[in-house]
Amino acid sequence: MAETRLADPVVAEADLQVAGDISRAMMRFFRATHHFKTRMIAEHNVDQTTFAVLSTLTECGPLRSTLLASRLHSDPSTISRQVAHLVQQGLVERTADPEDGRASLLGVTDTGREHLSEARRYRDRKLAELMRHWPAADRQTLALLLDRLANDLTALSTSAQPASSQTASSQTTSYDTEQK
């Protein structure tokens, strides 16, 4: 049986050039972000794994560890070790799953919420200091466009259609609604 493949859409040369420019800028951005995260850990003891787990549990509410691993695109055994450490630190707690008493749900403790809040304030303060010379409109536009790109990249992993078809100025983003 012959394999059926969808035809690749025709992409203009100019669009490929811009995509290449964006790809190169993103690679530089990812490297710079890695260095920024390393500096955050060194200066403020803000562990990125802890930040990711606490952020996910705060945004989603209590989750089973397998669902947390899925949301973080991580292996369940890795999440299990990380969560055990966070439980010992008092940042995460295990409670019985009301739907299945044999399973447990992971949730953020008050201490964990405060730890996350401090980490976000530190991250946001550093970023605000870095970008303070940018015009406010540029900072807002960057936030909107980065959120739009993240949404489209996320959608790419689940479908062939980009998530957004609106202009950046008409989008409501998680940046607009994130609680700090």
Q: According to the model, what pLDDT value does residue 163 have?
A: 54
Q: According to the model, what pLDDT value does residue 166 have?
A: 46
The three-class DSSP label of residue 163 is coil
| Residue 7 counted as domain residue | no
Which of 103, 60, 99, 52 lies closest to 79, judged by CA? 52
Q: According to the model, what pLDDT value does residue 169 have?
A: 42
Q: According to the model, what pLDDT value does residue 167 have?
A: 46
What does pLDDT average to in each consecutive run of 10 residues of the chain (180 residues)? 58 91 95 88 80 95 95 93 96 94 94 93 92 97 95 81 49 42
Q: How far is CA 50 from CA 77, 85, 86, 156, 165, in A?
A: 16, 9, 7, 27, 34
Looking at the fold, whether 102 and 145 belong to one and the same domain comes out as: no
Report how far residue 81's alpha carbon sits from residue 58's, in angstroms, rounded to the nearest whole number. Answer: 19
Q: According to the model, what pLDDT value does residue 8 have?
A: 63
Last residue of a domain, one of 79, 110, 141: 110
| Residue 153 counted as domain residue | yes
Range of the domain at 179: 131-180
First-to-last CA distance in the chain? 55
Spell out the alpha helix ranges (H) of 61-162: 65-71, 76-88, 110-130, 136-156
Looking at the fold, whether 96 and 136 belong to one and the same domain comes out as: no
The structural domain count of the chain equals: 2
Looking at the fold, whether 22 and 94 belong to one and the same domain comes out as: yes
Report how far residue 160's alpha carbon sits from residue 176's, in angstroms, rounded to the nearest whole number. Answer: 26
